[in-house]
Amino acid sequence: MVIEDLKGLLKDKNIIYDIFYEEGHQESFQYRGDEPYSCEKKETRGVGLRVIKDGRIGFSSTSDFSKLKELVDTALTLSFYGEKVNIKLPWEKDLPEVKTISNKTSLIKSEKLCSMAEELISLIKEKEPEVKIDLSIEKEYQYVRLANSEGFDASYEKIILGFGFDGLLVLEDGITWLSDFYNLSENPELDFKRVSEDFCQLIKIAKKKVKINTGEYKVILMPIPAAHFCSILFVGANGKQLEKNATPLIDKEGKQIAPTFLNIVDDGIYPFGYNTSPFDGDGIKRRSTKVIENGIFSNFLFDLVTAQKLNRKSTGNSDRSYGNMPRIQATNIYVEPSSDYPLTKIIKDVNNGIIIYYMLGAGQSNVLAGEFNWVINLGFKIENGEIIGRIKDCMFAGNLYEYLNKIILIGSEIKDLGNYYLPPIVLDKCKIVTKGI
Amino acid sequence: MRKIKEVMPVMLDLSYVKDYFDLRIEESETTSLQFRGKELEVIQRNFERGGFLRIFKKGNWLSSSFNDVENQINKENIDNLLKDAELLKPKEGSLTFLFPKEDKRIYKIIDQEELLNYKFDLLRKYNNILLSHPKIVTTNALYHDRLVRKIFYSKEGRKIDYTIFYYTIYLVAVSRDGNNICDYGIGVGRSRVLEGEVSIKELLKDLENKEEEAEKIVKIVVDLLSAEPVVGGIYDVIIDQRLAGVFAHEAFGHLSEADHIYTNEKLKKLMTIDNQYGIEELTIIDDPLLPNERGSYLYDDEGTEAKKTYLLKEGKIAGHLHSKETSAKMGEELTGNARSISYRHPPIVRMSNTYIEPRDKSFEELLSLLDNGLYVCGARGGQTELENFSFASQYAYEVKKGKLGKMIRDVTICGNVFETLKNIKGIGNDLKIHGGSCGKGSQYPLPIGDGGPHILIKNVIIGGR
């Protein structure tokens, strides 16, 4: 109804516009220190209106549907100051069919969500009674509809189920913090026994501390640091940075920037990905875009406005919520795994190295230039193919564009983080600075 | 600026709810303008309205947030919420309660126009300065304001109704020389509780006269192009006011938040009142009552009066920050630090304006005390995980024999907060408070202030290549 009302208000104004409407509801359960803490429910709704009047963009949004007339007036007023653009809003046919709702997940009841949480907590506590578990399980339904002045009018629904937990272990010589996350949007069945065993195994080895000297090491990036590593690439591959001449990738299209076995994809139609949808915030089809193909930098990501300015084509990467103007954003980032390199085998092949699970300081460095500067928050020393203990007070800094060429191996086991699909990434000759234990 | 209409809906009689409950309703208007390079890429206004109702039953929180304020607060939804309690195992739990109080602050905005021209011209003027050097490839110049009316109503009989206006500019320039790309910027953020007759244009004068600062941004971001990256290792450093603020907030302040403390026996022990960690000159304060800073407010989102809290006094732990829940759990007084970023989120323990109290040393005295080391400036951000922290600076200078030398870049400071507190050896006399934003859990950005004077710290780990 809101879209129809807005269309009515905009009918005789002879302007280009699009209307982004969303509504949804969410139910989540939080556990703290092994115990239940809260049940939160959210009902959300809102509408954003983008207008192009005399070639200039204006935008306004609201969650108060008694203000639709004000919304239109405001967007039109603001367009007087807005950026001048020369775009035609799309009316794309044959939108891709995407998987965003699974029956199994949509039918799951609140009681089941709580019992999943309790089962995992009790399995971990059986093995590691001293660890304190915080846990969050969230089920979210989203409905999005986009309509524009060209006649495009489409919608989609999505159900997301996320299951995340962390453990805090306090020992005399310091604190160990670990976390894990599962995107259960496709299938809510989780092998709790295996999940708890993997988690407890990490806790066990974290109890033993080992000393390490400043020097060069082989480094295995587990999914969370691997995601931060890849996210720096996606700052550089953002078409906005190309337009602004602010990316080191500016003259690298079609050039080798990484070893030939590296393939990285921005996949807007990955089944049950957090950012999967049939169309983007401009109404352009979502798709899968190769960003690094066989080590070659192959594509920047674009939305409609930026693509038009650079005489390119949109890659369907316009990210939008009702409250914000569309902007370029990666969707689901997928790093192609190798065929036969499980983590156990990777570790076995390392003589003198480090495996990093978590770090502090992501995104704080000069990411435009590709810099990263991390404190290794949970990392272990590997000697002669075996993890021998936890390292502390270590920092790892470098430049992504240099380190892409230090990738020597990609693992074969993918971790689904909802918007990142990542195997372990192995880097050679990484400078680790340390103060020792 | 539009005048906000009366927003309190016809209230359902909630007296039948036996458990503690509170209800927040928020109505807000936001204006954003953003230049990137020469283009004004973002210009938008947003109108938000929503509510958050929560109930504390059998030791657990049940909550519901919604936009449709008139229709969502009804008996059926409240009964459903109470039923949710059965899903969660009951446990012991209590809250610190407040006495009944009504406080409604009335205001009237006297500016007749929308002031869009004024905001646009102000931002464009700074953006033009940022673009004034040929090595600058783009900018990110942002103006943002938010007028938010907060209405609070609780079982205890608290009825609070007041409005805050937040206003911010954020100026960043990006320089480039071949493959070398650098960025640097500053932010200015203020807030005002609105009462009586208010001229928004008068308030926005706080954002005027920043031309010199914009010129300094250009100089630094161009100088950064020829600065060398730091060599990682252990250094003695002076941190500037901006980084001192990040240290006060990120490294120490978060540890003072009682929701971290009460579930963690070790932290409880470490954060016991009167534990000595620093020199006698070292005092760290959280104060939401500082006038017009970005982290200032009158009441927190549990309806508790804001108040000044000493976190560290003369080197000793002096207090913790509390919500109604943590205050009851730890048997300490309420501090008014339960805050949420909006009606979509529950209040959690947060800081307000957190700063290191200034002492008597001039910057020159600190330089000569330092002798050799680094002078580290500006903050890209900070991250902590309990006692470990990491924060990245914007730029730094070598210091040799007490004299500033060449500029260096990519300096990230990390360490253990308790060790670092002990290594603070000198405190300056030049306090500055900066308005920024903080993230905790899934709640970002929360307006906060942080600051301090120049600080001398020995033996700091600096990451580098």
User: Token digits for A161?
Assistant: 């189920």
Q: What is the pLDDT of residue A364?
A: 81
Q: Which residue has the higher pLDDT, A90 or B14?
A: A90
What single-letter amino acid sits at A364? Q
Mean pLDDT of A300-306: 97
Rounded to the nearest 10 degrees, the angle between the axes of helix B116-130 and helix B211-226 is 30
CB contact under 8 A, A36 and B33: no
Q: What is the pLDDT of residue B257?
A: 95
Q: What is the pLDDT of residue B4?
A: 40
CB contact under 8 A, A38 and B346: yes
B464 to chain A, any CB pair closer than 8 A? The answer is yes
Residue A235 belongs to what H/E stretch? Answer: helix A223-236
Give the list of residues 6+ apart from residue A238 with CB closer than 8 angstroms, or none: A247, A300, A301, A328, A329, A330
Cβ-Cβ contacts under 8 Å, B391 against chain A: 361, 364
A115 to chain B, any CB pair closer than 8 A? The answer is no
CB contact under 8 A, A395 and B461: yes
Q: What is the pLDDT of residue A437?
A: 40
User: Token digits for A258?
Assistant: 């990484």
Q: What is the pLDDT of residue B8?
A: 54
CB contact under 8 A, B45 and A78: yes
Q: How far is Cα A194 from Cα A184, in angstroms, rounded to an integer?
A: 15
CB contact under 8 A, A44 and B267: no
Q: Which residue has the higher pLDDT, B447 or A171?
A: B447
Read off the pLDDT of residues A40-59 as tens digits, 9 standing for 90 and up.
999 999 999 999 999 999 99
Read off the pLDDT of residues A78-88 as tens digits, 9 standing for 90 and up.
999 999 999 99
Q: What is the pLDDT of residue B2?
A: 40
Main-chain phi, psi angles of B71, to 5 degrees: -95, -15
CB contact under 8 A, B46 and A323: yes
User: Token digits for A332?
Assistant: 């689901």
Q: Give alpha helix (H) positions in B144-210.
A: 200-203
CB contact under 8 A, B414 and A365: no
Q: How far is Cα B29 from Cα B1, in angstroms, rounded to an integer?
A: 9
Q: What is the pLDDT of residue A401?
A: 96
Give the list of residues 6+ apart from residue B79 with CB closer than 8 angstroms, or none: none
Q: pLDDT per position in chain B (465 positions), as tens?
A: 344 445 455 567 788 889 999 999 999 999 999 999 999 999 999 999 999 999 999 999 999 999 988 888 888 888 999 998 999 999 999 999 999 999 999 999 999 777 999 999 999 999 999 999 999 999 999 999 999 999 999 999 999 999 999 999 999 999 999 889 999 999 999 999 999 999 999 999 999 999 999 999 999 999 999 999 898 888 999 999 999 999 999 889 999 999 988 888 888 988 999 999 999 999 999 999 999 999 999 999 999 999 999 999 999 999 999 999 999 999 999 999 999 999 999 999 999 999 999 999 999 999 999 999 999 999 987 788 777 888 889 999 999 999 999 999 989 888 889 999 999 999 999 999 999 999 988 899 999 999 999 999 999 988 766
The answer to whether the CB of A190 falls within 8 A of the CB of A392 is no
How many cross-chain Cβ pairs, A to B, lie less than 8 Å apart?
Answer: 235
Read off the pLDDT of residues A178-212 as tens digits, 9 standing for 90 and up.
999 999 999 999 999 999 999 999 999 999 999 99
Q: What's the Cα-to-Cα distance from A242 to each of A236, A249, A400, B137, B273, rounded to whole Å?
A: 8, 8, 17, 11, 53
Q: What is the pLDDT of residue A393?
A: 79
Interface of A with B in 145-204 (CB under 8 A): 168, 170, 174-175, 177
Interface of A with B in 232-251 (CB under 8 A): 240, 244-248
Cβ-Cβ contacts under 8 Å, B384 against chain A: 360
Rounded to the nearest 10 degrees, the angle between the axes of helix A2-10 and helix A68-79 is 50
Name the minimum distance, in Å, from the CA of A168 to any CA of chain B: 9
The partner residue sitting opposite B67, judged by closest CB among A44, A174, A397, is A44
Q: Which residue of A has its CA nearest to B45?
A: A60
Main-chain phi, psi angles of A371, to 5 degrees: -75, 145
Return the exposure string of A226-250: e unless at least 16 CB atoms fall within 10 Å of the residue's CB, then b: bbbbbbbbbbbbbbbbbbbebbbbb
The partner residue sitting opposite A244, judged by closest CB among B27, B46, B137, is B137
DSSP state of A258: S
The answer to whether the CB of B160 falls within 8 A of the CB of B299 is yes
The partner residue sitting opposite B37, judged by closest CB among A39, A244, A399, is A244
Q: What is the pLDDT of residue A226?
A: 97
Give the list of residues 6+ apart from residue A342 with CB closer than 8 angstroms, or none: A411, A412, A413
Q: Which residue of B has its CA nearest to A59?
A: B44
pLDDT at A31 over 90: yes
Q: How far is Cα A78 from Cα A19, in angstroms, rounded to an integer?
A: 16
Cβ-Cβ contacts under 8 Å, B138 against chain A: 244-246
pTM of the model: 0.95
Name the minimum distance, in Å, from the CA of B360 to any CA of chain A: 32
